[in-house]
Structure 1
Amino acid sequence: MRAKKHLEELEMEELKRAVIEGVDSIRSEVKARFASFEDRIIDLEQKKGTGHPDPAMANGGNGPGFMAVKALSEDAGMVAARTAAQQNKKISSLNSRVSLDVSIKSILTNLSSATSSGSATFPTPPDRNPNITIPGLRPLRLLDVLPRRPTSSDSVEYVRLAASGEASEQEIEGETKAELDLEGTLDTASIVTIAGWTAASRQVLADNDALGAAIDTVINHKCLSRLEHRLINGVGGQGKIAGLLHLGTAFSPTIATTPADAVGESMVTMANAGYMPNLILLNPLDWFSIQITRSSTAEYIFGTPTNPVPPALWNSAIVTTPSVPLGTGITLDTRFTTVLDRQQMSVLISNSHADFFVRNLVAILGELRAGLEVTDSSAVYHFGLPATSSGP
């Protein structure tokens, strides 16, 4: 029993010694940590004086980091813990909290919204509409209504047949009967090339998904718009289209006093000659001048501003296009007009132009080939429109 009791006493002594050594080790470690913390504060103070680029010294020592270190070093709880550590006293607990009178906005703000020298900034990219806004493009309507057919050549020959003379009775046997003179004239419709191109870098096309489609739309429209204009106004010649005004017949109204009447007289005259006019071409402003025509009582004749009539006169459709010269009307029988389609509109991209390969540029080319065939000039009338008044 005595030996057992002695053994227990030895174990208690050993345990006590181990606890004391553990506490001394913890005390030493805490003391070392606070000493290191104190050295850090001293180092920060020195850097403040020397202008050392320390993160805590941001904004000339007035940044939130420096303010936090300074406030923590002066906190009562921290001072008491540091004093106890220096005196080798046991630290039972540490509770320290500081409050900074500083907003997060003074830490980091957008580059464009910084309001003071103490604010740090960050360049935030602006939002961008992913769509590309293309410029205004006038409507193309004539190409939708004119007949067309494909061709595989650079020119198309056709014969214009003219007939003169009238049939008559043979009043006396043996007399010469009335003679009709038929004459065919060989004509050629040239196929012309209409094209346009622009340049762009490969990077900008790759970085802007909608840009390629916008360029394609603009180039397509520019080429087709030029084709529509030349189908009406072309004067022919080398590499040029002969248009409706050049190939058609000039008509002078004799009884019409208003634009609508002039259109009607032209169509009646064509019909009397054996044609079936079914299309009217007018400048949009000329059609508008007809729409706002009013009676002697100031009432609109062609519909009202809130309920305008559709673009039509004398049971025939009207195509309005700025390509028709202002003050000019065109009536036609489309059976005798054909757009010759040699190559439909296409857009090609290549870097083989000039030094584009080494400059990382591409050429974007839009191109079409087409012509116009009018097999009878009397099937197209063009004429001046009389002046009209929009009021009573």
Structure 2
Amino acid sequence: MSDIKNLTRKEAEEKLQTRQADLAKVFEAARTDDGYDYSKAVSVVSGASDAIAVAEHVKALNAEADELAKHVETFREADKAAADFAARGKARPGFVHPGQGQGGQPANRNQFKSIGEQLVNSPEFKEWYGQRSPQGATVQFGDMLPSEFLAKAAAFETMGSKALMATTSGFAPESIRLPGFVEAVTRPIQLLDILPMGNVSQAAVPYMEETTRTHAAAEAAEGAAFAESTFVFTQRSISVVKITDSLPVTDEQLEDVALIESYANSRLAYGVRQRLDGQAMTGNGTAPNMRGILNTVGIQTLARGTDPQMDALYKAMVRIRTIGRALPTHHVIHPLDWQDIRLTRTADGIYIFGSPMESGPERLWGLPVVQNEAIAENTSLVGSFEPSWITLFERRGIDIQVGYTGSQFTQGIRTMRADMRAALVLFRPAAFHTVTGM
């Protein structure tokens, strides 16, 4: 790698691209679902006989690529220094005091004169005006930068007109925007906090359901036949669905606003999970939708009728125990329905869930209450949120990508997108119970 110092910038850049391509070839051959298996890349590395040899080859390529990148960066810094040097050469001094220029005139006298005044007082203009030459005259303003000339040409007043320095003259006080931003109002993620999570590596989640379970255990006399029970299993399958979101962002936003990329990434991921939260509760199961808890065949339901809200929810808990043969763990209630319950008072006006000075327990009949806006108002859910009865399987985590679609490349726009794949499985639907008419 000592020869790298003798390379030109073009030679170093070309060699760096070659080394990057060599590394990409090895990584592509060695890539696995959980990392890299370098024994799979033996065939693409000349002279390598095992995984260690491939790893040593990768280490050497990476070290050389780092050295080349530093070499190229040195050239780039030198080019930047040259550009800075040229820019400094165009700089003009600021205002100086009168008398410091030639002939007792201000050194920056041109800055006090308008373009027209400088024109008519120039020797070239006076000579042309005196001779009335048809060829015209050429006047050069060598002491003025083009940007200064354009600024004076666009201004209706120059410094020679002695305009008052006020905000109305365009010199307004600077206003710095506060950092950060104010988030828009949006629904929080609520159901995912209590759903058991699992992983799946397939396009569907196949599982066995015990559809028939008949116990025939009984006493028997000596020498008599044994009683015989009947168990029947049926294979079920739930498809993994994809939830997506995307956001177009201009190049300038990505480059000039340090906050925008991380902001967009986090908001896209939040939006996907928020949609997953709603789908897990209310998805109708029609492709490409997930089948949510409320639309799963086999969950129990009960109309509140004339029962107080709290009584109806307790009856649902009992039915989960006696019919679903599971232990209820949570109540899922719309915030407005929970409001009615939380404000319940006795006949003499005492709040039964605690004084208004206290936050009050978000519990009912000993179970935590999850306030969820995805569930419709006037419908509540009681369930046994145990891994034995329900699991949300994730095919993979949230994937965020940035690229171009359609004509975005020529428009300076990039699309940021996020997606995830998941499947919700209710192994025992009867472990969940809705109460309507809340």
Q: Which interval holds the TM-score relative to the shorter structure?
A: 0.5 to 0.7
Distance 1:59 1:241 in 2: 68
Task: List per-residue Cα deviations over 1:234-255 (Å, max 9, x = no partner).
Answer: 1213222111112251322689
Provide the secondary structure at the position in 2 that maps to 1:334. coil
Distance 1:296 1:324 in 2: 31
Instruction: Mark the runs of 5 or more structure 1 residues left unpaired by the alignment.
Output: 1-32, 65-105, 115-119, 387-392
Distance 2:306 2:121 in 1: 95
The residue that corresponds to 1:368 in the other structure is: 420
Task: List per-residue Cα deviations over 1:36-70 (Å, max 9, x = no partner).
Answer: 99xx9xxx9xx99x9989x9xx9699944xxxxxx
Larger RCO (CA within 8 A; separation ≥ 6): 1
The residue that corresponds to 1:233 in the other structure is: 282
Structure 1 stretch 220-229 or stretch 191-200: which is displaced more?
220-229
AA in 2 matched with 1:276: L
Answer yes or no: is the 8 Å Cα contact 2:300–2:430 preserved in 1. Answer: no
1:191-206 matches, within 5 Å, as 191-206=240-255
User: How many angstroms does 1:208 deviate by?
Assistant: 1.2
Please state if 1:126 is matched with 2:175.
Answer: yes
The residue that corresponds to 2:307 in the other structure is: 257
Please state if 1:291 is matched with 2:337.
Answer: no
Answer yes or no: is the 8 Å Cα contact 2:331–2:370 preserved in 1. Answer: yes
Answer yes or no: is the 8 Å Cα contact 1:150–1:341 preserved in 2. Answer: yes
Answer yes or no: is the 8 Å Cα contact 2:381–2:435 preserved in 1. Answer: yes
Distance change >3 Å, CA 182–CA 61, structure 1 → 2: closer
AA in 2 matched with 1:320: Q
AA in 1 matched with 2:368: A
AA in 2 matched with 1:366: A
TM-score calculated relative to the size of structure 1: 0.65
User: How many angstroms does 1:329 deviate by?
Assistant: 1.3
Provide the secondary structure at the position in 2 that maps to 1:324. coil
Answer yes or no: is the 8 Å Cα contact 2:304–2:435 preserved in 1. Answer: no
The residue that corresponds to 2:351 in the other structure is: 300
Distance change >3 Å, CA 226–CA 62, structure 1 → 2: closer
User: How many angstroms does 1:346 deviate by?
Assistant: 2.6
Provide the secondary structure at the position in 2 that maps to 1:294. coil
AA in 1 matched with 2:315: E
Please state if 1:310 is matched with 2:367.
Answer: no
1:2-151 matches, within 5 Å, as 63-64=161-162, 107-109=164-166, 113-114=167-168, 120-122=169-171, 126-151=175-200
Among all aligned residue pairs of Structure 1 and Structure 2, give the percentage whose two residues are the same amino acid. Answer: 21
AA in 2 matched with 1:243: G
User: How many angstroms does 1:172 deviate by?
Assistant: 9.4
Distance change >3 Å, CA 372–CA 107, structure 1 → 2: same
Task: List per-residue Cα deviations over 1:146-199 (Å, max 9, x = no partner).
Answer: 111111111111122134556475699999987654332322111111001111
AA in 1 matched with 2:313: V
The residue that corresponds to 1:190 in the other structure is: 239
Distance 2:225 2:302 in 1: 36
Instruction: Mark the runs of 5 or more structure 2 residues left unpaired by the alignment.
Output: 1-102, 123-151
Answer yes or no: is the 8 Å Cα contact 2:299–2:430 preserved in 1. Answer: yes
Distance 2:374 2:217 in 1: 45
Distance 1:240 1:62 in 2: 72
Answer yes or no: is the 8 Å Cα contact 2:305–2:437 preserved in 1. Answer: no
User: How many angstroms does 1:202 deviate by?
Assistant: 1.1
The residue that corresponds to 2:88 in the other structure is: none
Partner residue of 1:330 out of 365, 374, 381 = 381
The residue that corresponds to 1:26 in the other structure is: none
Distance change >3 Å, CA 359–CA 252, structure 1 → 2: same
Distance 1:61 1:290 in 2: 74
Answer yes or no: is the 8 Å Cα contact 2:213–2:231 preserved in 1. Answer: yes
The residue that corresponds to 1:209 in the other structure is: 258
Distance change >3 Å, CA 124–CA 61, structure 1 → 2: closer
Distance 1:59 1:365 in 2: 51
The residue that corresponds to 2:326 in the other structure is: 275
TM-score calculated relative to the size of structure 2: 0.59
RMSD, aligned α-carbons: 3.6
The residue that corresponds to 1:25 in the other structure is: none
AA in 2 matched with 1:261: D
Distance 2:249 2:393 in 1: 32
The residue that corresponds to 2:403 in the other structure is: 350
Provide the secondary structure at the position in 1 that maps to 2:302. coil
Distance change >3 Å, CA 260–CA 229, structure 1 → 2: same
Distance 1:200 1:60 in 2: 41
Answer yes or no: is the 8 Å Cα contact 1:258–1:385 preserved in 2. Answer: no
Structure 1 stretch 297-306 or stretch 365-374: which is displaced more?
297-306
Provide the secondary structure at the position in 2 that maps to 1:251. strand
Please state if 1:220 is matched with 2:269.
Answer: yes
User: How many angstroms does 1:370 deviate by?
Assistant: 0.7
Task: List per-residue Cα deviations over 1:285-305 (Å, max 9, x = no partner).
Answer: 111110011111122111233
Answer yes or no: is the 8 Å Cα contact 1:189–1:371 preserved in 2. Answer: yes
